[in-house]
Structure 1
Amino acid sequence: MNIRTGGVWGAHLGMLVWALLVGLSFPAVGLLSEGLPPLLLTAMRFAIAALAVLPLVWGAPGLVPSRPGAWLYALMGLCLAGFFGTMFWAAHRTTALSMATLYVSVPLLAYMLGRMIRVEQRALGLLALLLLGALGALGLAWAEAKGDLSRMQLGPGEAGFFVGCMASALYPVLSKFGLVRGWLSPHAGVRTLWSLVLGGVLIALLGLIFNSPAAMARMTLSDLLLVTYLGMFSSGVTFWLQQRATATLTPAAVTAYGYLVPFVSMLLLFIQQPQALSLVWLPGGVMVMAAILLLLRRDVRMRSPVAMSH
């Protein structure tokens, strides 16, 4: 295995771990006490993650960003705040099924936005894989809804969350844009740190506006431990894995691993409720796994010595 293909394998394996950690974070969030302000909790998670990352990147190249890098980090932080802000806002105005369905659009949006600013090449094969993964994720959402699509709706909540999905898709595109132009640090940890710091500050400001800061007093010791875990792993490690993969993969390929999150949730459901296992989950699960495996095969083949020589 040469260096190029080794880097691709590492990036894809890292994103598999990313999907696992993100999928496992949902049950952990469900253990938090009710009534805690979600945006302020997210800001707290980001702060904990940033503090955990800081000692690891002290003295790394690009720790102090250039002027264009600082502006780009600010835009990336705005993307994070936009996604989390609209997600929590929409949660009270739409259904989980509608949000899960809309989130399927993120990799396709990342591909289109990447094409617009020229960090994605025209690739019909990649587009086909993204569509396959999207259909698989929709199949899993349909299975989770037990085939009842009547809960899906279209209104202001869905429109707002779709804007958040666009912000989520733009985040890796901006990262790739900054890396290509040398505006962002080549160190994945530094890019993770600045994303967490600026995104956390903006989310905290949203939390002070839309949440009740006094509700944070309801936190128990177990809540604090859970938020610490989520901050270090579901925020810190996942952001680092995403930034690490962005240096090697395209934004669309990175965001495509979001299709695996409902797959992980499905496996957790089967472990907790074996009676839920049925063939209705099979089409979506097979399509998601096929899309990810074909995506890995495509990237490894594109960076093989034979492909690189043409």
Structure 2
Amino acid sequence: MTARTAHLGMLLWAALVGLSFPAVGLMGELPPMLLTALRFAIACLGLWPLAHRAEGFALARRAVPVYALMGLCLAGFFGAMFWAAHHATALSMATLYVTVPLLAYGLGLGLRVERLAWRLPAILALGAVGALALAYAEALVRGGQMRFGIGEAVFFVGCVCSALYPVLSKWGLNAGRLPASAAVRTFWSLGLGGVLIGVLGVLVEPVSRFAAMSWSDALLLVYLGLFSSALTFWLMQRATLVLTPGAITAYGYLVPFVSMLVLFLRAPQSLDWVWLPGSLMVLAAIALLLRHDADTERKTGDSARTQAD
């Protein structure tokens, strides 16, 4: 797989994640952590036909600790997000989430899956400023307030967990602990993460609230499980083969851009110049990221040909 193919997959990832938020908003008020555990279970069922036939599906002893840590990262992020949703403002959470790509780059340097250079951090910083501008534009349209308290602190820990997930996946691949199959890595990390989130949900959430689930809720849950969980995490794991954690998580900057486009379709009166600066910076960051990886791939190919000669 080439870097271009991986980037195209991550563009689809950003579109799917951005469209998942309106879908979640259509669901009834159900226990969020238990709902996520069910989403992951549905995702694993969808991945089963592809994963169980792939090489490396059987859990190797060396892979178990890495999968367990990846599952903890998923449980940590979603657990922190659901708890912080009742203790932090939406603007504060959106602002903190833009730190994920830079955190992934820094953690990747520590585990030696990123290279120390200036171009990628600069591109990530540009995308972060653009995403931040989109968050403030949304705050101006819908109203919101930025602050930092215990809710924001917990959510930042969740952001660290989110950044660590692709770093661990890349490290596991480089160390030979994880298989090459993206479906297998997605299956086991979602499976373990779902179990951990489910246990936490059973402890703190009322299971009886699921009695209020309607048929439309169930259909949306299946959609979210198959497309917003199975497919998106598979696309991320697939891109991990050729992209670095920083480049992968940078596509998170496109999620508020997609949400902005959905908002314009649902409420055209929201269209305003206030959205333009952030949109341009996010698009510029993604374009520079594509060019950066294309240059890197070309240089690698030239170097390989020179050695062959």
Do they superpose with TM above 0.5? yes
**1:174 matched to which residue of 2?**
168
Residue 14 of structure 2, aligned match among 14, 19, 23: 19
Q: Which whole-Å CA distance do the structure 2 matches of 1:17 and 1:148 have between them? A: 27
272-281 vs 110-119, greater mean Cα deviation = 272-281
Asked whether the equivalents of residues 3 and 294 of structure 2 are also in contact (C-alpha less than 8 Å), the reply is: yes
Deviation of the 1:229 alpha carbon: 0.4
- Is 1:76 the counterpart of 2:70? The answer is yes
Q: Where in structure 1 are there 5+ consecutive unaligned residues? A: 1-5
Q: Which whole-Å CA distance do the structure 2 matches of 1:198 and 1:115 have between them? A: 26
Deviation of the 1:242 alpha carbon: 0.3
- Is 1:195 the counterpart of 2:189? The answer is yes
1:61-106 CA distances to partner (integer Å, 9 max, x unpaired)?
Answer: 1101221211100000000000000000000001000000000000
Q: Which whole-Å CA distance do the structure 2 matches of 1:139 and 1:59 have between them? A: 45
Q: Which whole-Å CA distance do the structure 1 matches of 2:299 and 2:106 have between them? A: 28
Deviation of the 1:272 alpha carbon: 1.1
Q: Which whole-Å CA distance do the structure 2 matches of 1:177 and 1:69 have between them? A: 11
**1:131 matched to which residue of 2?**
125
Deviation of the 1:54 alpha carbon: 0.5
Q: Which whole-Å CA distance do the structure 2 matches of 1:138 and 1:26 have between them? A: 18
Q: Where in structure 2 are there 5+ consecutive unaligned residues? A: none
**1:163 matched to which residue of 2?**
157
Q: Which whole-Å CA distance do the structure 2 matches of 1:149 and 1:159 have between them? A: 22
Asked whether the equivalents of residues 137 and 259 of structure 1 are also in contact (C-alpha less than 8 Å), the reply is: yes
Q: Which whole-Å CA distance do the structure 2 matches of 1:107 and 1:133 have between them? A: 9
1:201 alignment partner, SS class: helix
**2:248 matched to which residue of 1?**
254
1:15 alignment partner, SS class: helix
Deviation of the 1:261 alpha carbon: 0.2
Q: Which whole-Å CA distance do the structure 1 matches of 2:97 and 2:124 have between them? A: 13
**Cα distance change of structure 1 residues 275 and 150 upon mapping to structure 2, 3 Å threshold:** closer
1:304 alignment partner, SS class: helix
User: Where do 1:14-53 residues align within 5 Å?
Assistant: 14-34=9-29, 36-53=30-47
1:303 alignment partner, SS class: helix
Q: Which whole-Å CA distance do the structure 1 matches of 2:93 and 2:28 have between them? A: 23
- Is 1:184 the counterpart of 2:178? The answer is yes
User: Where do 1:1-310 residues align within 5 Å?
Assistant: 7-34=2-29, 36-146=30-140, 151-304=145-298, 308-309=302-303
Q: Which whole-Å CA distance do the structure 2 matches of 1:205 and 1:255 have between them? A: 27
Asked whether the equivalents of residues 46 and 196 of structure 1 are also in contact (C-alpha less than 8 Å), the reply is: yes
**1:3 matched to which residue of 2?**
none
Q: Which whole-Å CA distance do the structure 1 matches of 2:212 and 2:200 have between them? A: 20
Q: Which amino acid aligns with 1:12?
A: H
**Cα distance change of structure 1 residues 274 and 150 upon mapping to structure 2, 3 Å threshold:** closer
Asked whether the equivalents of residues 142 and 148 of structure 1 are also in contact (C-alpha less than 8 Å), the reply is: no
Deviation of the 1:308 alpha carbon: 3.9
Deviation of the 1:305 alpha carbon: 5.1
Q: Which whole-Å CA distance do the structure 2 matches of 1:77 and 1:227 have between them? A: 21
Deviation of the 1:145 alpha carbon: 0.7
Q: Calculate the aligned-residue CA RMSD, in Å.
A: 1.4
Asked whether the equivalents of residues 106 and 169 of structure 1 are also in contact (C-alpha less than 8 Å), the reply is: yes
What TM-score comes out, normalization by structure 1 length?
Answer: 0.96
Asked whether the equivalents of residues 91 and 144 of structure 2 are also in contact (C-alpha less than 8 Å), the reply is: no
Asked whether the equivalents of residues 141 and 270 of structure 2 are also in contact (C-alpha less than 8 Å), the reply is: no
Q: Which whole-Å CA distance do the structure 1 matches of 2:206 and 2:234 have between them? A: 30
Deviation of the 1:147 alpha carbon: 7.8
Counting aligned pairs with the same residue, the percent is: 62
Q: Which amino acid aligns with 1:28?
A: A
Q: Which whole-Å CA distance do the structure 1 matches of 2:121 and 2:80 have between them? A: 27
What TM-score comes out, normalization by structure 2 length?
Answer: 0.96
2:63 alignment partner, SS class: helix
Q: Which whole-Å CA distance do the structure 2 matches of 1:16 and 1:192 have between them? A: 18
Deviation of the 1:274 alpha carbon: 1.2
Deviation of the 1:149 alpha carbon: 8.6
Q: Which whole-Å CA distance do the structure 2 matches of 1:148 and 1:197 have between them? A: 36
